[in-house]
Structure 1
Amino acid sequence: MTNPSEGKTPVAHHADLAVVRRLAALMKDVQLDCGCRSRLDEALARFAALEEQRTACEYLSTARQQRERINAVLFFLQDLDELVATESDRSVYLDIALLFEDIATTAKAGAFAMRQLSISSSAEPVESDVGFSES
Structure 2
Amino acid sequence: MKHRLPENSAAEMAITAARLAALIEEAGLDCRCRSKLDETLSRFASLEIVPAARGHLTNARHQRAHIEAILLFLQDLDEIGEAEWDSSVYQDFALLFDDIATIARDGALSMRQLGQFAALTAVVR
Q: Which residue of 2 aligns with 1:122?
A: 121
- Quick check: which one's helix share is greater? 2
Please report how far the alpha carbon of residue 51 of structure 1 lies from its aligned counterpart in structure 2 after TM superposition. 1.7
CA deviation string 1:7-59 (max 9, x = no partner): 776x344356578x5xx9xxxxxxxxxx9x78974446413333211111111
Query: For 2:112 and 2:92, how far apart are their aligned partners in 1?
Result: 30
Query: For 1:109 and 1:53, how far apart are their aligned partners in 2?
Result: 19
Q: Which residue of 2 aligns with 1:60?
A: 57
Query: For 1:115 and 1:70, how far apart are their aligned partners in 2?
Result: 18
Regions of 4+ moved over 3 Å: 4-9, 15-19, 37-45
- Secondary structure of residue in 2 paired with 1:84: coil
The answer to which structure, 1 or 2, has the higher relative contact order (CA under 8 A, 6+ apart) is 2
CA deviation string 1:107-129 (max 9, x = no partner): 00111011111111126xx9xxx
Give % identity: 42
RMSD: 3.2
Give the structure-2-normalised TM-score.
0.68
Paired AA for residue 72 in structure 1:
A
Paired AA for residue 121 in structure 2:
S
Query: For 1:105 and 1:5, how far apart are their aligned partners in 2?
Result: 13
Q: How many aligned residue pairs are there?
A: 108
